C-alpha cells in the first residue's frame, strides 16, 4: 500500500486544484455578469443624465421667457391695483349713499306706520262715538250684521339689513 499513497495524495491535490479552478471560474463568470449589469445601469444613468441636461436647458429658456412675461405683467398688475383702489373708493362711497337711502326709507316707513296707527286709533274713536250716539238716540246701527271688524294685525315690518362693507367686491388678483 505504500506505493499507492503518493499517487492518491497527488490525485487528491490535483482534484483540490481542479475544484479551486472551477470555483474561480464560477466567481469570474458571476463577476463578469455583475460587471455587465453595472455597465447597463451606468449606460441607462448616463442616458437619463443627458435627457435631464436637455430638459434643464429647455427649462432655463422657458424661465427666461417667463421672467420677461412676468416683468410686463407686474407693470400691468400695478396699473390694475391703482384702478382697484379707485373702484374700492367708489364702492365705499356708493355703499355709504345706499345705506343712507336705506335709513331714510326705514325712517319714512316708521313714520308712515305711526300715521297708520294714529288713523286706525282715530277710526276706532270715531266708530265708538258713532256707536255711542246711536245708542243715545236709540237708532239702529247701520252697520249691524253687515260690518265685521277684522282683528287688528300688526303688519310685519321688513327689516332691511345693512350690507357689510366688503361683500361683493371684485377681486382682480
pLDDT tens for each residue of 96-137 = 999 999 999 999 999 999 999 999 999 999 999 988 888 888
CA 92, distance to chain mean position in Å, is 26
Instruction: Dig out the grid coordinates for 85 from the structure.
Output: 383702489
Distance CA 25, CA 19 (A): 10
Q: Residue 7's pLDDT is what?
A: 77
Q: pLDDT higher for 67 or 140?
A: 67
Residue 164 pLDDT > 80:
no
Q: Residue 1's pLDDT is what?
A: 45
Distance CA 17, CA 132 (A): 146
Q: Residue 82's pLDDT is what?
A: 94
Distance CA 115, CA 109 (A): 10
Residue 38 pLDDT > 90:
yes
Q: Which of 47-51, 92-96, 154-158 has the lowest mean pLDDT?
A: 154-158
Amino acid at each position: 500500500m505504500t506505493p499507492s499513497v503518493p499517487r492518491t495524495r497527488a490525485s487528491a491535490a490535483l482534484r483540490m486544484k481542479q475544484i479551486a479552478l472551477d470555483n474561480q471560474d464560477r466567481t469570474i463568470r458571476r463577476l463578469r455578469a455583475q460587471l455587465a449589469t453595472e455597465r447597463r445601469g451606468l449606460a441607462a444613468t448616463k442616458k437619463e443624465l443627458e435627457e435631464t441636461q436637455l430638459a434643464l436647458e429647455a427649462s432655463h429658456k422657458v424661465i427666461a421667457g417667463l421672467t420677461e412675461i412676468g416683468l410686463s405683467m407686474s407693470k400691468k398688475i400695478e396699473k390694475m391695483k391703482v384702478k382697484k383702489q379707485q373702484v374700492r373708493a367708489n364702492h365705499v362711497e356708493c355703499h355709504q349713499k345706499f345705506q343712507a337711502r336705506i335709513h331714510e326709507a326705514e325712517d319714512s316707513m316708521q313714520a308712515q306706520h305711526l300715521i297708520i296707527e294714529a288713523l286706525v286709533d282715530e277710526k276706532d274713536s270715531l266708530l265708538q262715538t258713532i256707536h255711542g250716539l246711536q245708542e243715545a238716540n236709540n237708532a239702529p246701527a247701520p252697520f249691524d250684521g253687515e260690518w265685521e271688524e277684522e282683528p287688528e294685525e300688526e303688519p310685519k315690518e321688513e327689516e332691511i339689513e345693512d350690507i357689510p362693507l366688503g361683500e361683493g367686491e371684485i377681486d382682480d388678483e
